[in-house]
Amino acid sequence: MSQAFAAKRKKKPSDSLSDKRIRLLDAALELFETRGYDGVAVPEIAAKAGVATGTVYLYFADKAALVNALYRHWKTQYNAIVLAPVPPALVARDKFTTYWQRMTDFARAYPLATRFMDLHHHGSYLDAESIALGRFYRDTAEAFIRDAHAAGAIRDIDPALIVALMWGAATGLTKFAGQGALDFNLDAAVEMEDALWRAIAND
């Protein structure tokens, strides 16, 4: 079953044009995640999706349009799940836990998508809409960091460094798990959270 585009369907994939689009996005996710944007050709995506090459162009103008559609889909999902507002009454430590748990829950549920976003978020082929979705993560994280610092909960560290630290930790766990180097379970996520907080806490 594919990672997020998969849905229970009453029809066979070949019976619906929308299903073909889903299959193309599924195939593109796997290929772009493993081989990168430049390492994948449109006919390969079509072949993996089980459709004719011409079918790709019924939905996407070109490969760049396809990768942007895929990136926007996952960034939209990520932003909605991970960056949803947290209760304002929570102290900084609990807000940190909430954001981290959401990040790692998403990464554990959708490892391919997490690695895809990590690989492609600086791609020169991303358009303005895709870039804006990526910026939302940074802006939300930096706002939390500024508030936590103002409350005296964390040290005076460049917000961009903490953003990189948290994102790198979540994607790093995902990559190592994908390579079989570790078990990215709840215990590992909690242990990493504690290490990250101790690295930035104003203790």
- How much is the pLDDT for 26? 96
Q: What is the mean pLDDT of the chain?
A: 89
What dotted CATH number matches 13-60?
Answer: 1.10.10.60
Among 45-49, 57-61, 117-121, 169-173, the range scoring the smallest mean pLDDT is 117-121
For 9-65, the pLDDT digits (tens) are 334 434 455 889 999 999 999 999 999 999 999 999 999 999 999 999 999 999 999
Superfamily of domain 74-200: Tetracycline Repressor, domain 2 (1.10.357.10)
Instruction: Please report the pLDDT score of residue 122 as a whole number.
Output: 84
Residue-wise pLDDT tens digits, 74-111: 999 999 999 999 998 999 999 999 999 999 999 999 99
Going by C-beta distance under 8 Å and a sequence separation of 6 or more, which residues neighbour residue 156? 149
Per-residue confidence (pLDDT) for residue 160, from 0 to 100: 86
pLDDT, position 2: 54
pLDDT band at 3 (very low <50, low <70, confident <90, very high): low
- In this prediction, residues 190-201 reach a mean pLDDT of 96
* Percent above pLDDT 70 for the chain: 92
Is 60 exceeded by the pLDDT of residue 1?
A: no
- Asked if residue 169 has pLDDT above 80, the reply is yes
Looking at residue 13, what is its pLDDT? Answer: 36
Interacting residues of 24 by C-beta distance below 8 A, sequence separation 6+: 45, 46, 49, 51, 55, 56, 59, 60, 66
Structure tokens at 169: 């930790």
Amino acid 76 reads T
- Domain boundaries defined on the chain: 13-60, 74-200
DSSP label at 88? Answer: T
pLDDT value, residue 92: 95
Question: Using one digit for the tens of pLDDT, what is the confidence trace for 129-168?
Answer: 999 998 888 889 889 999 999 999 999 988 888 888 999 9
User: What was the pLDDT predicted at 9?
Assistant: 37
CB 174: neighbour CB atoms within 10 A? 23
